[in-house]
Amino acid sequence: MSQDVRVLVIEDEDSIRRLIRAALGTEGYQVTETAHGEEGVALLEQESFDLVILDIQLPGISGWDVLETMRARGLRDQVRVVMLTAQSQEREILRGWRMGVDHYCLKPFEPEEFLATVDHVLSASSEQLERDRQQQLQRTQLLHLVDSVFDT
CA distances, 17 to each of 8, 41, 93 (Å): 11, 17, 21
Residue 10: helix, strand or coil by DSSP?
strand
Q: 92 Cβ partners below 8 Å, 6+ apart?
A: 56, 85
Q: 54 Cβ partners below 8 Å, 6+ apart?
A: 10, 11, 40, 63, 66, 67, 81, 82, 83, 84, 101
Query: What's the pTM?
Result: 0.88
Label residues 28-57 b or e (16+ Cβ within 10 Å = b): ebebebbbbbbbbbebbeeeebbbbbbbbe
Distance (Å, whole) CA 101 – CA 135: 13
CATH number for the region 2-151 comes to: 3.40.50.2300
Q: What is the CA radius of gyration of the chain?
A: 15
**Domain definitions of the chain by residue range:** 2-151
- Residue 129: in which H helix or E strand, if any? helix 126-151
Residues 115, 32, 104, 111: is their CA dihedral positive or negative?
positive
Distance (Å, whole) CA 147 – CA 26: 40
Predicted confidence pLDDT, tens digits, the chain (152 residues): 567 999 999 999 999 999 999 999 999 999 999 999 999 999 999 999 999 999 999 999 999 999 999 999 999 988 999 999 887 677 788 888 888 899 999 888 999 999 999 999 999 999 999 999 888 888 877 766 666 666 65
